Chain A
Amino acid sequence: MSLRYLHFDLMRALRNTRVMIFTLVTPLLLFAIFGSGQGDQTIGGISAAAYVMVSMAMFGSMSGALSSGGTIAFERGTGWNRTLRLTPLRSSTYVASKVVLSLLLAVPPLVLVFAAGVVLDDVRLSAAQWFQVAATAWLGALPFAALGIVIGYVATPDSVQPISALTTILVAAFGGLWIPVEQMPGWMHSIAELTPAYWTGLTSRSALTTTGLDTHALWVVLLWTAGLAAIGLRLFRAEAARA
């Protein structure tokens, strides 16, 4: 990891309005639409407002995490990676910086949507719950950081946008971030379980229940991360060996 490279990438990401809209404005809007006016309703034993707040925050952090890896596709396509090979920067440092950037870009949507939950919907949690919800939601960005790297090495500059956007939408819709899993028809629920978002959502929401942290779901999240990271590493090595 190179702090200097990370800083350079972060500045570029913050200037990228498309990424900022997708990771900040969209989840906020969705939360404002679906999260408010739920009254005292509950979903799966959790206040509906808190449920939607966590889901939309995770949707935003997932988009942020994915977008970082996606920039690899652009940079491979434009020859930036070749230019970097003419500098002392190692390609492993480059990828490590992208992963850290993913995790950084996952933070603002979490903070923003949580703040909206408190302000707009009067969501009240204990300090321990806030901590656990935030930590697990942030951890939930890990598999998507790895998936971003995979997409970065598979996609071309032309295809990376649609691939990333479609992945985000499908995972959010079928993984239970946009539609609560408890309200899904049976067939959709079965599909949901095949997405990493289902397990990251389950992990994070478990902080709001009386039963405490869902360790089974947490393990599935870590397995997804390990699997996707292994694929990303393979693709990275194949690319590095090509010259």
Chain B
Amino acid sequence: MTESKTITSAPPTHALSVRGLRKRYGDVRAVDGIDLDIRTGEVVALLGPNGAGKSTMIEMLLGLVRPDGGDVRVFDGSPADAITTGRLGAMLQSGGIVDDGKVGELIGLVAGLHRDAMSVAEALETAGIAGLADRIFANLSGGQQQRVRFALAIVGRPELLLLDEPTTGMDVESRAAFWRSMHQQTARGRTVLFATHYIDEADAYADRVVMMRHGKIVADGTAAQIKATVVGRTIRARLADPDPAALASLPGVRDVEIRGDTVVMHCDDSDVTLRELLVATDAHDIEVTSAALEQAVLALADDHQPTETTTEASS
């Protein structure tokens, strides 16, 4: 009761509020205590490797899977209410479609169930599949099928859109086309949460990236913030006789790897390290690189990455 009170007192600008969400399957804690607020108009990427709990999380946000604990509020109501009123639309990873249905029939069916739906033509156009109305779903390519699922998700003009790995099975060209049509949606102030393991998608299309691992949120911020806090910068240099202990004690160094005569140092503050490095050693052929978001994800995804412990210490 107290929990629901705190949530209702939250500003009504939240499209989605999640508190203490938990779900376990046998010994696996698929979702292990998640708190998340998404404001209206935000485009949020839920990023994480396979098995991070993204799908289970989305299924609970939609009310398809009953949580073991915690609370999900969509526009201050239950997910089921938001679906019934057409405010919440969703696209599941491989959401089942009766494959003997024609595309136009499928979209017309779902449009007819909503109060303020797009026309079939508009939904097809928006999803970039204008010519496919008379095709049988089973005869479409994987990418086309995904776009039909997308059309089904948006035809009711939902305010909040949940997408579970929407570009799975699409080739590069369809992915680009898909995100172009997504852009039209978000430009109209639609709130979007999409799960993905494509880092570039999160980087390019989301205002905010929420990273999940082992059922927990391990990072939450803009793509740039995550890159900076998680990985810092990397210095590569050649040294005649590298001494790992001495290098590790340099200021700003998080850890050191020696590969033959090449040294790779992960740094929190590479400027400070560099100043010392040039003075204290014979380092040459020096390269400083900033991490890609991809490395940040790998760091967060893999328990054995050396940066992992420092990540949690620094956050």
Interface set of A (CB-CB < 8 Å, partner B): 2, 4-5, 8, 11-12, 15-16, 74-75, 78-83, 85-89, 243
For the A-B complex with A11-B102, A86-B153, A87-B152 known, give 10 more contacts whose Cβ atoms are closer than 8 Å: A4-B113, A8-B101, A16-B100, A75-B98, A78-B99, A79-B94, A82-B64, A85-B83, A86-B92, A87-B110
- Chain B residues near A74: list those with CB within 8 A: 98
In the bound complex, what is the Cα–Cα distance between A243 and B112 (angstroms)? Answer: 25
Top 4 closest pairs, chain A to chain B, by CB: A79-B96, A4-B112, A78-B96, A8-B109
* A8 touches which of B84, B105, B114, B156 (Cβ 8 Å): B105
- Are A86 and B98 also in contact (CB < 8 A) when A5-B109, A243-B63, A243-B66 are? no
Q: For this complex, into which size category does the number of interface residues on chain B fall?
A: 20 to 34
Shortest Cβ gap from B204 to chain A (Å): 26
- Chain A residues near B156: list those with CB within 8 A: 87-88
Verify A243–B98 contact, CB threshold 8 A. Answer: no
- Are A15 and B65 also in contact (CB < 8 A) when A88-B86, A88-B113 are? no
Shortest Cβ gap from B206 to chain A (Å): 22
In the bound complex, what is the Cα–Cα distance between A66 and B48 (angstroms)? Answer: 45
Verify A80–B96 contact, CB threshold 8 A. Answer: yes
B21 at the interface (CB under 8 A from A): no
- Are A86 and B89 also in contact (CB < 8 A) when A2-B113, A4-B112, A8-B109 are? yes
Closest to B91 in A: A86
Shortest Cβ gap from A97 to chain B (Å): 11
Interface set of B (CB-CB < 8 Å, partner A): 62-66, 83-86, 89-90, 92, 94-102, 105-106, 108-110, 112-114, 152-153, 156
Q: Tell me the dominant secondary structure on chain A's binding face.
A: helix
In the bound complex, what is the Cα–Cα distance between A88 and B89 (angstroms)? Answer: 10
Closest to B86 in A: A88
Closest to A13 in B: B100
In the bound complex, what is the Cα–Cα distance between A8 and B84 (angstroms)? Answer: 20
- Are A86 and B109 also in contact (CB < 8 A) when A12-B98, A78-B98 are? no
In the bound complex, what is the Cα–Cα distance between A78 and B105 (angstroms)? Answer: 18
Shortest Cβ gap from B69 to chain A (Å): 16
